[in-house]
Amino acid sequence: MGKILLKLTNVANTIGDTTWRTKFKAATLQEIMKVAMVAEKICEVDRTDNYTIKNPYGSDPTVAITSLQGTYDVSDYTTTDDTLTVGLMFKIAEHVPDYEEVLSNYDLFANRISRQAYKVAAAIDACVVNLLCENGTGTYSTPAGGFTTASNFLKIMSNLNSKWAGFAEVYKGLFLVVENTDLTGILEATGSLGYSMADSALKNGLVTSFQGVDIYVVRTGTFADTSYSSYDIVTNSGHRVAGIKGVATYAAPRNIRFEEKSVSGKTGKEIVTWGYIGFKCWAQVAAMIIDITIS
C-alpha cells in the first residue's frame, strides 16, 4: 500500500494593507514638506524627537579701552533662559464614503492622502512664516506702493541689506519672502536691470536671488491676521519678512499619526492626519529678522 504524505501549509502575510498605507502617507508628507516648504529653506530645522529645545544666552560683555593702567572694572554677568517648546498641533480629517471609493475610476485614497499632505505642508509653512514675521524685532516700511511699484524695488533691497550688514551670521545666507502679487513690480524692475539680471528675469520669468538675497514666493493671503494659539497671535496682513537664514528654529513635525477609522452609521472610512510642531525666533538674534510693512 502506497504512502500518502499530507501537508498543511499556512501562508501568512504579515504586512496588511494598512501598513503599506501608513508608509505611503508618511513618505508622501515628508517628501512634500522637504521640497515645497519655504520654512525648510530659511529656518534651522530640528528633526529630532525633542519637545523642548533650550538655548540659554548670557549678557553681552563690555570692552573698555583705556590708557595703560593696572586696574579694571568688574561687571555682573547674567544668563537668560530661552526655550523652544513644541506646542502647536496640526490636524486634518476627511470622511470618504464607501460608494465614492468603489465607484471612482481612480485611486481616491491616494488622491486624498496627497491632498492632505499638501494642505498640511502649506498650513505649517504659512504658520512658520507668520510666526517668523511676528517675532522678528527688526522693522522696515517700504516706500508707497511696496513691491508692486517697480521703481521701489532697488531702494527696498538696498535698505534691507543695510539692516543686516555687519552681522557675522550673514554668511548663512539672506532671504526675502513675498507674496505672488508682489512679483508684478519685482519682475518689471529686474527685467530692466542690466544684461545678466534682465536676461534671467525675461527668459525664466522668475527671480530667485537679487543682491545676494534669496527671494521666496508664497501665495497671496499667506501673511495674515490670525491666531495659532492663545500665545501665538499674529497681525501680519500687509507685511512681508526678510532676514538672515538659520537664526530661527523650526521644529519639524513630531509624532505624526495617520488613522483610518470606521464611523458608526456611515460607510467608508474617516481619514485623519495629525502631529506636532514648534517654532522659535531666538531672542538674541531676533533683530536679524526684519518685519516689513507695506506702505
Domain limits of the chain?
Answer: 17-57+78-293
CATH architecture of structural domain 17-57+78-293: Alpha-Beta Complex (3.90)
More confident residue, 273 or 87: 87
Please determine, for residue 166, whether its predicted confidence score (pLDDT) is greater than 80.
yes
* Among the ranges given (118-122, 142-146, 219-223), the one the predictor scored with the smallest mean pLDDT: 118-122
Of residues 234 and 49, more confidence is placed in 234
User: CB of 269 within 8 A of CB of 97?
Assistant: no
Supply the pLDDT for residue 264. 83
Q: Across-strand partners of 249?
A: 44, 280
Q: How far is CA 64 from CA 60, 70, 105, in A?
A: 13, 13, 77
Which single residue is written with the C-alpha cell 507674496?
Answer: 179
The cell for 68 is: 595703560
Say what the pLDDT of residue 17 is: 52
What local confidence, expressed as pLDDT, does residue 175 receive?
Answer: 95
For the stretch 243-293, pLDDT in tens is 999 999 999 988 888 787 888 888 888 888 889 999 999 998 899 999 999
Q: Tell me what the mean pLDDT of segment 60-75 comes to.
A: 87
pLDDT for 110: 72
Asked if the model's pLDDT at residue 130 lies above 80, the reply is yes
Q: How confident is the model at residue 165 (pLDDT cuts 50, 70, 90)?
A: confident
Confidence band of 194 (pLDDT split at 50, 70, 90): low
Q: Which residues contact 185 (CB under 8 A, 6 or more apart)?
A: 145, 146, 147, 148, 149, 150, 152, 153
Average pLDDT over residues 186-206: 61
